[in-house]
A and B are shown apart, each in its own frame.
Chain A
Amino acid sequence: MQSNPQLNANGELRHLLSIEGLPGEVLLGILDTAASFVGVTEREVKKVPILRGKSVFNLFFEPSTRTRTTFEIAAKRLSADVINLNIAASSQTKGESLLDTVANLSAMQADVFVVRHASSGAPFLIAQHVKPHEHVINAGDGRHAHPTQGLLDLYTIRHYKQDFSRLTVAVVGDVLHSRVARSLIHGLTTLGTPEVRVIGPKTLLPTGVESLGVRVFHDMREGLRGADVVVMLRLQSERMRGALLPSAQEFFKHYGLTAEKLALARPDAIVMHPGPMNRGVEIDSSVADGPNSVILPQVTFGIAVRMAVMSMVAGTS
């Protein structure tokens, strides 16, 4: 059996590259640890000393505000030193290779690399080449994975619904381009969610998506019926090449979440969105700001989840 590059010999988390392939007990361990960090984020002094003296390098080869900021806040609350590198506008454009960039930063005594890259697999490549005391956290690679977002989604679902074993979760919209959807679906099935549905037009669902263990719906009303959790995805217009959709208005008509469509889900259903939201494209403002929405708590939990992941990986050898 090939060993999992994310785990060390003791089965502890060494890098976080994707949710796929992580055992359920590791996922639950991260969620439990995050729950303890939620307590820290609610105190007056929102800082613990555990990563004092460690350096966290945020390597963003692709623009991001929310994810980069929450990683930065998380690292600072762990007392780490944070260095933000906006590489889109740096050496890479001068022709330096990815591994040379990382080798240079490693020479600056890095402990943790938080990596976002437009190419799927870039964080894996880096993880294969870092020194034993260095750790890699994937902050989104291409269309592949966004594990900390997936984990914060899992945390949010567990927070409001306690247990995965009786839930129906509907993931709606642009699944094709969504690394968030892929990470969440792997996490939900690993943790024993009995029904995971994906809802979207054929052109925005990856071929063979059923093999992930999900039910596919093209009719949103049908797919939302009885759902406990509705996860809306952002329509990733910047990733779309070619005419996958007639127009944003047309998309909203069929796959936008309105109060009328949400009424088909369970009355206590929660509505999630990884952000940034396109109001009036995939979600109506009345729902985004409505009583079922947990979109802002997701952001808060995201900090605790990233604190958990960083403190777990940086302590393994």
Chain B
Amino acid sequence: MTPLPDAESLCAGLVAELRPIVGPNTAMIGLYTGGVWLAERLHAELAIAEPLGTMDIAFYRDDYNKQGLARDPKRTRIPFTVEGRDLLLVDDVLYTGRTVRAAMNELFDYGRPASISLVVLADRNGRELPICAQHCGVKVDVPADMRLRLRRGDDGKLRLELERAE
């Protein structure tokens, strides 16, 4: 298998791609955990005026009846008004689409945004819902039994990793 793309250069590519579309009405939300790391970087480099929102979709998952409540859910913090906003929703890897579905449901409990665009570092195969990313660093083919995820080193550098799915 070819080596995984470098997360740092994908991140730089996304900054360049997003810069022209960021306006005064733009706000950004990162999805725990990897999406928050990526969003922290994008948010700082794009100098978005509104503070960064962070979201844990634990209370909106569709597999509660199978998996129960996720351990240690983080608190969702949206420090701006969602109503009428152009939102950039940020996650590390787009896979089944279920996380994004849950995140959109949660978002609408905060208000009615003008628009939502999905920003991901990597788009992998295996979609189960009709969801696609508007801004995507790279498309990768990953074997079905493998999981692609973002890691953040002690130095703050981001990297993509493959691991066996549980």
Residues of A within 8 A of B (CB): 12, 29, 32-33, 35-40, 43-45, 47-50, 311-312, 315-317
The yes or no answer to B139 lying at the interface (CB within 8 A) is no
In the bound complex, do residue A36 and residue B76 qualify as a contact, i.e. CB atoms below 8 Å apart?
A: yes
In the bound complex, do residue A50 and residue B75 qualify as a contact, i.e. CB atoms below 8 Å apart?
A: no
Task: Report A-chain residues with C-beta under 8 Å of the C-beta of B110.
Answer: 43-45
Task: Report B-chain residues with C-beta under 8 Å of the C-beta of A50.
Answer: 59-61, 64, 69
In the bound complex, do residue A312 and residue B76 qualify as a contact, i.e. CB atoms below 8 Å apart?
A: no
Most buried by A among B60, B69, B109: B69
In the bound complex, do residue A44 and residue B111 qualify as a contact, i.e. CB atoms below 8 Å apart?
A: yes
Q: How far is the CA of A38 from the CA of B73 in the complex (A)?
A: 12
B55 to chain A, nearest CB (A): 10
In the bound complex, do residue B105 and residue A39 qualify as a contact, i.e. CB atoms below 8 Å apart?
A: no
Partner of B59, one of A40, A44, A317: A40
Do most interface residues of chain B lie in helix, strand or loop, or is the interface mixed?
Answer: loop
Binary contact track B51-62/A, C-beta < 8 Å → 1, others 0: 000001011110
**Could you tell me which residues of chain B, from 66 to 80, have a CB within 8 Å of some CB in chain A?**
67-69, 71-77
Task: Report B-chain residues with C-beta under 8 Å of the C-beta of A29.
Answer: 71-72
24 A-B residue pairs with CB within 8 Å: A12-B68, A32-B72, A33-B69, A36-B56, A36-B58, A36-B59, A36-B73, A36-B76, A37-B59, A38-B75, A39-B75, A39-B76, A40-B59, A44-B109, A44-B111, A47-B109, A48-B60, A48-B106, A48-B109, A50-B60, A50-B64, A311-B69, A315-B65, A315-B69
In the bound complex, do residue B58 and residue A315 qualify as a contact, i.e. CB atoms below 8 Å apart?
A: no
Partner of A312, one of B60, B65, B68: B68
Q: How far is the CA of A47 from the CA of B105 in the complex (A)?
A: 12
